[in-house]
Amino acid sequence: MQTPATLYREKIEHSKVYAVAKETPLEFQSNLSARIHNRVLLKREDMQPVFSFKLRGAYNKMANLSPNALQRGVICASAGNHAQGVALSAQKLGCRAVIVMPTTTPQIKISAVKARGAEVVLFGDSYSDAYVHALELEKSQGLTFVHPYDDPDVIAGQGTIALEILKDHPEPIEAIFCCVGGGGLLAGIAAYIKAVRPEIKVIGVEAKDAEAMTESLKSGKRVMLEQVGLFADGAAVKQVGEHTFALCQQYVDEMIVVDNDAICAAIKDVFEDTRSILEPAGALATAGLKEYAKRHSLTGKTLIGVASGANMNFDRLRFIAERAELGEQREAVLAVTIPEKPGAFKTFCRLLGNRNITEFNYRYSDPVNAHIFVGVAIQSTTESDQLVAALQNEGLPALDLTHNEVAKLHLRHLVGGHAPQATNEVVYRFEFPEKPGALMNFLESMGHNWNISLFHYRNHGADFGRVLVGMQVPPEEKTAFETFLKQLGYPYWDESQNPAYRLFLG
Protein backbone atom coordinates (compact mmCIF):
# COMPACT_ATOMS: atom_id res chain seq x y z
CA MET A 1 0.00 0.00 0.00
CA GLN A 2 1.35 3.42 -0.97
CA THR A 3 1.94 5.99 1.76
CA PRO A 4 0.98 9.66 1.33
CA ALA A 5 4.68 10.41 0.85
CA THR A 6 5.04 8.00 -2.08
CA LEU A 7 1.80 9.26 -3.62
CA TYR A 8 3.03 12.83 -3.40
CA ARG A 9 6.41 11.81 -4.76
CA GLU A 10 4.70 10.66 -7.95
CA LYS A 11 2.58 13.83 -8.14
CA ILE A 12 5.65 16.01 -7.59
CA GLU A 13 7.78 14.22 -10.18
CA HIS A 14 4.98 14.67 -12.74
CA SER A 15 4.12 18.25 -11.79
CA LYS A 16 3.71 20.80 -14.55
CA VAL A 17 5.53 23.84 -13.26
CA TYR A 18 8.36 24.63 -15.63
CA ALA A 19 6.27 26.39 -18.25
CA VAL A 20 6.33 29.38 -15.87
CA ALA A 21 8.76 28.49 -13.06
CA LYS A 22 12.49 28.06 -13.40
CA GLU A 23 14.91 25.83 -11.52
CA THR A 24 16.37 28.24 -9.02
CA PRO A 25 19.97 27.98 -7.79
CA LEU A 26 21.03 26.46 -4.48
CA GLU A 27 23.63 28.95 -3.27
CA PHE A 28 26.31 28.68 -0.59
CA GLN A 29 26.14 31.49 2.00
CA SER A 30 29.77 32.12 2.93
CA ASN A 31 29.37 34.85 5.58
CA LEU A 32 26.51 33.18 7.43
CA SER A 33 28.20 29.78 7.23
CA ALA A 34 31.36 31.16 8.82
CA ARG A 35 29.45 32.88 11.58
CA ILE A 36 27.31 29.91 12.68
CA HIS A 37 29.96 27.26 11.92
CA ASN A 38 27.76 25.22 9.60
CA ARG A 39 27.47 24.95 5.82
CA VAL A 40 24.42 27.05 4.88
CA LEU A 41 22.79 26.83 1.45
CA LEU A 42 19.82 28.89 0.25
CA LYS A 43 17.28 27.76 -2.32
CA ARG A 44 16.71 31.04 -4.16
CA GLU A 45 12.98 31.04 -4.85
CA ASP A 46 13.12 34.83 -4.63
CA MET A 47 14.59 34.65 -8.16
CA GLN A 48 11.39 33.33 -9.73
CA PRO A 49 9.60 35.54 -12.31
CA VAL A 50 7.14 36.73 -9.63
CA PHE A 51 9.88 36.77 -6.93
CA SER A 52 8.22 33.94 -4.99
CA PHE A 53 7.71 30.15 -5.05
CA LYS A 54 3.93 30.59 -5.23
CA LEU A 55 3.68 30.31 -9.02
CA ARG A 56 4.74 26.63 -8.83
CA GLY A 57 1.62 25.49 -7.01
CA ALA A 58 -0.70 27.88 -8.83
CA TYR A 59 0.43 26.74 -12.26
CA ASN A 60 0.40 23.05 -11.40
CA LYS A 61 -3.20 23.36 -10.19
CA MET A 62 -4.32 25.28 -13.26
CA ALA A 63 -2.41 23.15 -15.77
CA ASN A 64 -4.24 20.07 -14.44
CA LEU A 65 -7.69 21.58 -14.96
CA SER A 66 -9.90 20.30 -17.77
CA PRO A 67 -10.12 22.38 -20.98
CA ASN A 68 -13.72 23.21 -20.04
CA ALA A 69 -12.71 24.47 -16.58
CA LEU A 70 -9.90 26.54 -18.05
CA GLN A 71 -12.27 28.08 -20.55
CA ARG A 72 -14.58 29.22 -17.73
CA GLY A 73 -11.63 30.73 -15.85
CA VAL A 74 -10.17 30.71 -12.34
CA ILE A 75 -10.48 32.83 -9.22
CA CYS A 76 -8.47 33.31 -6.03
CA ALA A 77 -8.32 35.60 -3.02
CA SER A 78 -4.92 37.08 -2.32
CA ALA A 79 -3.15 40.37 -1.77
CA GLY A 80 0.33 38.99 -2.31
CA ASN A 81 2.48 36.37 -3.98
CA HIS A 82 -0.29 33.86 -4.73
CA ALA A 83 -2.18 36.52 -6.69
CA GLN A 84 0.80 37.12 -8.95
CA GLY A 85 1.34 33.40 -9.38
CA VAL A 86 -2.25 32.84 -10.48
CA ALA A 87 -2.16 35.89 -12.78
CA LEU A 88 1.04 34.74 -14.50
CA SER A 89 -0.25 31.17 -14.84
CA ALA A 90 -3.49 32.37 -16.39
CA GLN A 91 -1.56 34.55 -18.80
CA LYS A 92 0.51 31.55 -19.86
CA LEU A 93 -2.52 29.24 -20.20
CA GLY A 94 -4.65 31.87 -21.91
CA CYS A 95 -7.52 31.73 -19.45
CA ARG A 96 -9.50 34.29 -17.48
CA ALA A 97 -8.30 35.01 -13.94
CA VAL A 98 -10.18 36.97 -11.30
CA ILE A 99 -8.21 38.06 -8.23
CA VAL A 100 -10.17 39.29 -5.21
CA MET A 101 -8.05 41.62 -3.06
CA PRO A 102 -8.90 43.61 0.09
CA THR A 103 -9.53 47.31 -0.48
CA THR A 104 -6.49 48.02 1.70
CA THR A 105 -4.09 46.36 -0.79
CA PRO A 106 -1.21 48.69 -1.84
CA GLN A 107 -1.52 50.01 -5.39
CA ILE A 108 1.84 48.51 -6.38
CA LYS A 109 0.45 44.99 -5.80
CA ILE A 110 -2.78 45.74 -7.65
CA SER A 111 -0.81 47.08 -10.61
CA ALA A 112 1.48 44.03 -10.66
CA VAL A 113 -1.51 41.68 -10.92
CA LYS A 114 -3.26 43.78 -13.58
CA ALA A 115 -0.04 43.86 -15.61
CA ARG A 116 -0.37 40.07 -15.99
CA GLY A 117 -3.81 40.49 -17.54
CA ALA A 118 -5.86 39.42 -14.51
CA GLU A 119 -9.10 41.10 -13.40
CA VAL A 120 -8.84 42.66 -9.94
CA VAL A 121 -11.90 42.86 -7.67
CA LEU A 122 -11.40 44.95 -4.51
CA PHE A 123 -13.62 43.83 -1.66
CA GLY A 124 -13.61 44.14 2.15
CA ASP A 125 -11.01 45.30 4.61
CA SER A 126 -9.23 41.98 5.16
CA TYR A 127 -8.18 38.76 3.45
CA SER A 128 -11.09 36.97 5.15
CA ASP A 129 -13.58 39.35 3.54
CA ALA A 130 -11.92 38.89 0.14
CA TYR A 131 -11.89 35.09 0.55
CA VAL A 132 -15.64 34.90 1.30
CA HIS A 133 -16.42 37.13 -1.68
CA ALA A 134 -14.20 35.02 -3.96
CA LEU A 135 -16.15 31.89 -3.01
CA GLU A 136 -19.39 33.69 -3.86
CA LEU A 137 -18.03 34.72 -7.28
CA GLU A 138 -16.75 31.18 -7.86
CA LYS A 139 -20.32 29.86 -7.65
CA SER A 140 -22.11 32.69 -9.42
CA GLN A 141 -19.71 32.83 -12.37
CA GLY A 142 -18.76 29.15 -12.65
CA LEU A 143 -15.09 29.77 -11.97
CA THR A 144 -12.55 27.35 -10.44
CA PHE A 145 -11.08 28.41 -7.09
CA VAL A 146 -7.28 28.14 -6.87
CA HIS A 147 -6.45 27.77 -3.19
CA PRO A 148 -3.14 29.28 -2.03
CA TYR A 149 -2.07 26.16 -0.10
CA ASP A 150 -4.76 23.58 0.79
CA ASP A 151 -4.97 21.66 -2.50
CA PRO A 152 -3.06 18.48 -3.50
CA ASP A 153 -1.97 19.94 -6.86
CA VAL A 154 -0.80 23.15 -5.22
CA ILE A 155 1.11 21.16 -2.57
CA ALA A 156 2.71 19.00 -5.27
CA GLY A 157 3.75 22.08 -7.25
CA GLN A 158 5.52 23.54 -4.21
CA GLY A 159 7.12 20.14 -3.57
CA THR A 160 9.14 20.42 -6.80
CA ILE A 161 11.50 22.61 -4.76
CA ALA A 162 12.57 19.50 -2.79
CA LEU A 163 13.15 17.57 -6.01
CA GLU A 164 15.51 20.32 -7.23
CA ILE A 165 17.34 20.52 -3.88
CA LEU A 166 18.15 16.80 -3.89
CA LYS A 167 19.22 16.91 -7.53
CA ASP A 168 21.60 19.81 -6.88
CA HIS A 169 22.90 18.47 -3.56
CA PRO A 170 23.07 14.65 -3.39
CA GLU A 171 25.56 14.86 -0.49
CA PRO A 172 24.44 14.57 3.16
CA ILE A 173 21.99 17.19 4.41
CA GLU A 174 21.19 17.66 8.09
CA ALA A 175 17.96 19.62 7.66
CA ILE A 176 15.82 21.66 5.27
CA PHE A 177 13.97 24.72 6.58
CA CYS A 178 10.71 26.16 5.18
CA CYS A 179 8.58 29.15 6.07
CA VAL A 180 5.02 28.24 7.08
CA GLY A 181 1.79 30.12 6.45
CA GLY A 182 -0.97 27.73 5.44
CA GLY A 183 1.57 24.92 5.12
CA GLY A 184 1.63 24.18 1.37
CA LEU A 185 5.38 24.65 0.96
CA LEU A 186 6.27 22.71 4.10
CA ALA A 187 3.87 19.85 3.32
CA GLY A 188 5.10 19.43 -0.25
CA ILE A 189 8.77 19.48 0.67
CA ALA A 190 8.29 17.21 3.71
CA ALA A 191 6.35 14.59 1.75
CA TYR A 192 8.95 14.39 -1.02
CA ILE A 193 11.97 14.37 1.30
CA LYS A 194 10.55 11.60 3.49
CA ALA A 195 9.78 9.49 0.42
CA VAL A 196 13.27 9.85 -1.07
CA ARG A 197 15.73 10.80 1.72
CA PRO A 198 13.93 10.14 5.03
CA GLU A 199 17.11 10.73 7.07
CA ILE A 200 16.95 14.46 6.24
CA LYS A 201 15.06 16.50 8.84
CA VAL A 202 12.37 18.88 7.62
CA ILE A 203 11.81 21.90 9.85
CA GLY A 204 8.97 24.43 9.63
CA VAL A 205 9.51 28.04 10.71
CA GLU A 206 6.80 30.47 11.80
CA ALA A 207 6.66 34.03 13.08
CA LYS A 208 6.09 34.35 16.82
CA ASP A 209 2.71 36.02 16.44
CA ALA A 210 1.43 33.70 13.67
CA GLU A 211 2.32 30.16 14.78
CA ALA A 212 -0.81 28.36 13.55
CA MET A 213 1.04 25.18 12.47
CA THR A 214 3.09 25.00 15.66
CA GLU A 215 -0.01 25.23 17.85
CA SER A 216 -1.94 22.79 15.66
CA LEU A 217 0.78 20.14 15.80
CA LYS A 218 0.96 20.56 19.58
CA SER A 219 -2.80 20.14 19.91
CA GLY A 220 -3.12 17.29 17.44
CA LYS A 221 -5.78 19.21 15.54
CA ARG A 222 -6.06 22.36 13.46
CA VAL A 223 -6.17 25.42 15.69
CA MET A 224 -7.76 28.72 14.69
CA LEU A 225 -5.74 31.70 15.95
CA GLU A 226 -7.78 34.68 17.11
CA GLN A 227 -5.43 37.10 15.41
CA VAL A 228 -2.06 37.08 13.67
CA GLY A 229 0.77 39.59 13.39
CA LEU A 230 1.25 40.99 9.91
CA PHE A 231 4.99 41.74 9.83
CA ALA A 232 5.64 38.49 7.95
CA ASP A 233 2.41 39.02 6.02
CA GLY A 234 3.24 36.38 3.41
CA ALA A 235 2.90 33.74 6.14
CA ALA A 236 0.20 35.32 8.31
CA VAL A 237 -2.53 32.65 8.32
CA LYS A 238 -5.00 32.06 11.17
CA GLN A 239 -5.61 28.39 10.34
CA VAL A 240 -3.52 25.91 8.35
CA GLY A 241 -5.07 23.68 5.67
CA GLU A 242 -6.59 20.23 6.17
CA HIS A 243 -4.34 18.55 3.59
CA THR A 244 -1.24 20.42 4.73
CA PHE A 245 -1.84 19.68 8.41
CA ALA A 246 -2.25 15.93 7.78
CA LEU A 247 1.03 15.79 5.84
CA CYS A 248 2.92 17.90 8.38
CA GLN A 249 1.69 15.69 11.22
CA GLN A 250 3.33 12.71 9.54
CA TYR A 251 6.46 14.13 7.99
CA VAL A 252 7.64 17.32 9.72
CA ASP A 253 10.37 16.77 12.33
CA GLU A 254 10.21 20.03 14.25
CA MET A 255 8.78 23.55 14.30
CA ILE A 256 10.77 26.68 15.12
CA VAL A 257 9.17 30.01 16.10
CA VAL A 258 11.16 33.25 15.67
CA ASP A 259 10.40 36.87 16.57
CA ASN A 260 10.47 39.94 14.34
CA ASP A 261 13.97 40.96 15.40
CA ALA A 262 15.30 37.54 14.34
CA ILE A 263 13.52 37.91 10.98
CA CYS A 264 15.11 41.33 10.45
CA ALA A 265 18.53 39.91 11.31
CA ALA A 266 17.98 37.10 8.78
CA ILE A 267 17.09 39.61 6.05
CA LYS A 268 20.40 41.33 6.74
CA ASP A 269 22.27 38.00 6.74
CA VAL A 270 20.94 37.14 3.28
CA PHE A 271 21.67 40.64 2.01
CA GLU A 272 25.28 40.43 3.17
CA ASP A 273 25.76 37.18 1.23
CA THR A 274 23.62 37.82 -1.86
CA ARG A 275 22.91 41.58 -2.04
CA SER A 276 19.24 40.58 -2.33
CA ILE A 277 16.51 41.76 0.04
CA LEU A 278 14.02 39.11 1.10
CA GLU A 279 10.54 39.93 2.35
CA PRO A 280 9.97 39.03 6.04
CA ALA A 281 8.19 35.73 5.21
CA GLY A 282 10.95 34.96 2.72
CA ALA A 283 13.58 35.21 5.48
CA LEU A 284 11.74 32.98 7.98
CA ALA A 285 13.66 29.86 6.92
CA THR A 286 17.02 31.58 7.44
CA ALA A 287 15.97 32.86 10.87
CA GLY A 288 14.78 29.38 11.86
CA LEU A 289 17.93 27.77 10.52
CA LYS A 290 20.08 29.97 12.75
CA GLU A 291 17.91 29.30 15.80
CA TYR A 292 17.91 25.55 15.15
CA ALA A 293 21.71 25.43 14.85
CA LYS A 294 22.03 27.34 18.12
CA ARG A 295 19.40 25.28 19.94
CA HIS A 296 20.99 21.96 18.97
CA SER A 297 24.63 23.15 19.18
CA LEU A 298 25.30 22.09 15.59
CA THR A 299 28.66 22.52 13.88
CA GLY A 300 29.90 21.36 10.51
CA LYS A 301 26.44 20.34 9.25
CA THR A 302 24.76 21.20 5.93
CA LEU A 303 21.63 23.26 6.50
CA ILE A 304 19.37 24.37 3.64
CA GLY A 305 16.83 27.19 3.83
CA VAL A 306 14.21 28.10 1.25
CA ALA A 307 14.38 31.83 0.45
CA SER A 308 10.71 31.85 -0.42
CA GLY A 309 10.05 35.40 -1.58
CA ALA A 310 11.31 38.93 -2.12
CA ASN A 311 8.19 41.04 -2.58
CA MET A 312 9.28 43.56 0.01
CA ASN A 313 7.34 46.73 0.77
CA PHE A 314 9.98 49.46 0.47
CA ASP A 315 8.63 51.41 3.44
CA ARG A 316 9.57 48.54 5.79
CA LEU A 317 13.29 48.82 5.15
CA ARG A 318 13.94 51.45 7.82
CA PHE A 319 12.30 49.32 10.54
CA ILE A 320 14.20 46.23 9.35
CA ALA A 321 17.54 48.04 9.39
CA GLU A 322 16.89 49.33 12.92
CA ARG A 323 15.91 45.93 14.31
CA ALA A 324 18.44 43.71 12.51
CA GLU A 325 21.29 44.39 14.97
CA LEU A 326 18.97 43.68 17.92
CA GLY A 327 17.88 40.42 16.34
CA GLU A 328 21.46 39.35 15.86
CA GLN A 329 22.22 40.38 19.47
CA ARG A 330 24.84 42.78 18.15
CA GLU A 331 23.24 45.86 19.72
CA ALA A 332 22.15 46.66 23.26
CA VAL A 333 19.64 49.42 24.02
CA LEU A 334 20.14 50.97 27.45
CA ALA A 335 18.54 53.65 29.61
CA VAL A 336 21.13 55.26 31.89
CA THR A 337 20.63 57.90 34.59
CA ILE A 338 23.52 60.28 35.30
CA PRO A 339 23.74 63.28 37.67
CA GLU A 340 22.99 66.58 35.91
CA LYS A 341 26.33 68.27 36.50
CA PRO A 342 29.34 69.15 34.36
CA GLY A 343 31.66 66.19 33.77
CA ALA A 344 29.09 63.46 34.40
CA PHE A 345 28.42 63.03 30.68
CA LYS A 346 32.14 62.59 30.04
CA THR A 347 32.39 59.96 32.80
CA PHE A 348 29.51 58.07 31.26
CA CYS A 349 31.13 58.08 27.81
CA ARG A 350 34.42 56.80 29.26
CA LEU A 351 32.57 53.81 30.69
CA LEU A 352 31.20 53.00 27.23
CA GLY A 353 34.84 52.67 26.11
CA ASN A 354 35.61 52.14 22.43
CA ARG A 355 32.31 50.44 21.70
CA ASN A 356 30.55 51.69 18.59
CA ILE A 357 27.55 53.84 19.56
CA THR A 358 24.59 53.26 17.25
CA GLU A 359 22.22 55.83 18.75
CA PHE A 360 22.32 58.47 21.45
CA ASN A 361 19.32 60.45 22.75
CA TYR A 362 19.50 62.94 25.61
CA ARG A 363 17.61 66.11 26.51
CA TYR A 364 18.03 68.28 29.61
CA SER A 365 14.83 68.18 31.65
CA ASP A 366 15.73 68.03 35.34
CA PRO A 367 18.36 69.94 37.36
CA VAL A 368 19.18 66.81 39.38
CA ASN A 369 19.31 63.83 36.99
CA ALA A 370 19.71 63.24 33.26
CA HIS A 371 18.20 60.25 31.47
CA ILE A 372 20.04 58.94 28.43
CA PHE A 373 18.79 56.51 25.79
CA VAL A 374 21.75 54.84 24.08
CA GLY A 375 22.32 52.04 21.58
CA VAL A 376 25.70 50.28 21.81
CA ALA A 377 27.26 47.69 19.51
CA ILE A 378 28.09 44.48 21.39
CA GLN A 379 29.41 41.03 20.57
CA SER A 380 27.07 39.09 22.87
CA THR A 381 24.42 39.45 25.56
CA THR A 382 27.16 38.75 28.10
CA GLU A 383 28.91 41.94 27.08
CA SER A 384 25.65 43.84 27.53
CA ASP A 385 25.29 42.46 31.08
CA GLN A 386 28.88 43.43 31.87
CA LEU A 387 28.34 46.98 30.60
CA VAL A 388 25.20 47.43 32.73
CA ALA A 389 27.09 46.14 35.78
CA ALA A 390 30.02 48.51 35.13
CA LEU A 391 27.69 51.51 34.89
CA GLN A 392 25.87 50.58 38.08
CA ASN A 393 29.17 50.07 39.92
CA GLU A 394 30.00 53.70 39.09
CA GLY A 395 26.71 54.84 40.62
CA LEU A 396 24.95 55.27 37.26
CA PRO A 397 21.63 53.35 37.32
CA ALA A 398 21.27 51.45 34.02
CA LEU A 399 18.38 49.49 32.56
CA ASP A 400 18.70 47.09 29.63
CA LEU A 401 15.83 47.83 27.21
CA THR A 402 16.98 45.54 24.42
CA HIS A 403 13.86 43.38 24.70
CA ASN A 404 11.44 46.18 25.57
CA GLU A 405 9.07 46.66 22.60
CA VAL A 406 7.78 50.06 23.75
CA ALA A 407 11.33 51.38 24.04
CA LYS A 408 12.45 50.00 20.67
CA LEU A 409 9.35 51.06 18.75
CA HIS A 410 8.47 54.38 20.34
CA LEU A 411 10.61 55.85 23.11
CA ARG A 412 13.76 56.03 20.99
CA HIS A 413 11.91 58.55 18.79
CA LEU A 414 10.25 60.47 21.63
CA VAL A 415 13.22 61.41 23.82
CA GLY A 416 13.24 65.22 23.99
CA GLY A 417 10.95 68.19 24.53
CA HIS A 418 11.20 71.77 25.69
CA ALA A 419 13.71 72.59 28.44
CA PRO A 420 12.96 76.03 29.91
CA GLN A 421 15.66 75.51 32.56
CA ALA A 422 18.37 75.08 29.90
CA THR A 423 19.41 78.73 29.95
CA ASN A 424 21.92 80.17 27.46
CA GLU A 425 21.49 77.14 25.23
CA VAL A 426 23.12 77.05 21.81
CA VAL A 427 22.45 74.21 19.40
CA TYR A 428 24.94 72.99 16.80
CA ARG A 429 24.89 70.26 14.22
CA PHE A 430 28.18 68.38 13.76
CA GLU A 431 29.61 65.70 11.52
CA PHE A 432 31.75 63.36 13.60
CA PRO A 433 34.09 60.84 11.94
CA GLU A 434 32.42 57.42 12.30
CA LYS A 435 35.12 55.79 14.41
CA PRO A 436 35.71 54.93 18.08
CA GLY A 437 36.92 57.89 20.13
CA ALA A 438 35.29 60.64 18.08
CA LEU A 439 32.82 61.53 20.84
CA MET A 440 35.48 61.51 23.55
CA ASN A 441 37.66 63.77 21.38
CA PHE A 442 34.74 66.19 21.21
CA LEU A 443 34.22 66.13 24.98
CA GLU A 444 37.92 66.45 25.78
CA SER A 445 38.25 69.39 23.38
CA MET A 446 35.48 71.30 25.13
CA GLY A 447 37.76 72.08 28.04
CA HIS A 448 35.20 74.33 29.73
CA ASN A 449 32.40 73.38 32.05
CA TRP A 450 29.70 73.98 29.47
CA ASN A 451 26.80 71.75 30.35
CA ILE A 452 25.53 69.53 27.56
CA SER A 453 21.74 70.01 27.50
CA LEU A 454 20.85 68.03 24.38
CA PHE A 455 22.54 65.22 22.47
CA HIS A 456 21.16 63.18 19.59
CA TYR A 457 23.02 60.75 17.33
CA ARG A 458 21.95 57.85 15.11
CA ASN A 459 24.23 55.62 13.09
CA HIS A 460 23.33 56.06 9.41
CA GLY A 461 25.88 53.63 7.97
CA ALA A 462 27.98 56.45 6.50
CA ASP A 463 31.64 57.29 7.12
CA PHE A 464 30.61 60.18 9.34
CA GLY A 465 28.02 60.54 12.10
CA ARG A 466 25.33 63.24 12.17
CA VAL A 467 25.12 64.69 15.67
CA LEU A 468 22.93 67.41 17.19
CA VAL A 469 24.34 68.94 20.40
CA GLY A 470 22.91 71.55 22.76
CA MET A 471 25.27 73.32 25.20
CA GLN A 472 24.70 75.96 27.85
CA VAL A 473 27.20 78.70 27.00
CA PRO A 474 26.99 82.00 28.94
CA PRO A 475 27.32 85.14 26.74
CA GLU A 476 30.65 86.08 28.32
CA GLU A 477 32.15 82.78 27.14
CA LYS A 478 31.16 83.20 23.50
CA THR A 479 34.74 83.91 22.37
CA ALA A 480 36.08 80.79 24.11
CA PHE A 481 33.26 78.75 22.56
CA GLU A 482 34.08 79.99 19.04
CA THR A 483 37.72 79.05 19.62
CA PHE A 484 36.64 75.56 20.66
CA LEU A 485 34.62 75.15 17.46
CA LYS A 486 37.53 76.19 15.25
CA GLN A 487 40.02 73.91 17.03
CA LEU A 488 37.71 70.90 17.10
CA GLY A 489 38.24 70.10 13.43
CA TYR A 490 34.74 68.72 12.79
CA PRO A 491 32.32 70.33 10.30
CA TYR A 492 29.62 72.23 12.20
CA TRP A 493 26.51 74.37 11.66
CA ASP A 494 24.77 76.71 14.11
CA GLU A 495 21.14 75.57 14.45
CA SER A 496 20.19 77.78 17.40
CA GLN A 497 17.69 79.71 15.27
CA ASN A 498 16.38 76.67 13.41
CA PRO A 499 12.56 76.93 13.52
CA ALA A 500 12.14 73.17 14.16
CA TYR A 501 14.44 73.40 17.20
CA ARG A 502 12.69 76.48 18.53
CA LEU A 503 9.25 74.95 18.07
CA PHE A 504 9.87 71.52 19.62
CA LEU A 505 13.03 71.70 21.78
CA GLY A 506 13.96 75.29 22.62
At 19 the three-state DSSP class reads coil
Active site residue 54: yes
Tell me which DSSP letter residue 458 carries: E
Say how far apart CA 378 and CA 388 lie, in whole Å. Answer: 12
- What Cα–Cα distance (Å) separates residue 306 from each residue in 224, 288, 499? 26, 11, 50
Say how far apart CA 404 and CA 385 lie, in whole Å. Answer: 15
Active site residue 219: no
- What Cα–Cα distance (Å) separates residue 174 from each residue in 20, 61, 183, 199? 31, 31, 21, 8
Taking the chain, what is the end-to-end CA distance rounded to the nearest angstrom?
A: 80
**The residue type at 305:** G
Catalytic residue among 43, 54, 109, 194: 54
Q: Considering Cα of 325, then 37, then 190, then 274, what sign does the dihedral take?
A: positive
Q: What is the dihedral of CA 67, 11, 162, 82, to 10 degrees?
A: 30
Say how far apart CA 276 and CA 193 lie, in whole Å. Answer: 27
| 364 phi and psi angles, rounded to 5 deg | -60, 130
Say how far apart CA 394 and CA 140 lie, in whole Å. Answer: 74
Catalytic residue among 15, 276, 308, 365: 308
- What Cα–Cα distance (Å) separates residue 339 from each residue in 368, 385, 392, 396? 6, 22, 13, 8
Say how far apart CA 148 and CA 426 lie, in whole Å. Answer: 59
Centroid of chain to Cα 345: 35
At 226 the three-state DSSP class reads coil
Stated length of the chain: 506
Say how far apart CA 54 and CA 197 lie, in whole Å. Answer: 24
Catalytic residue numbers read 54, 308
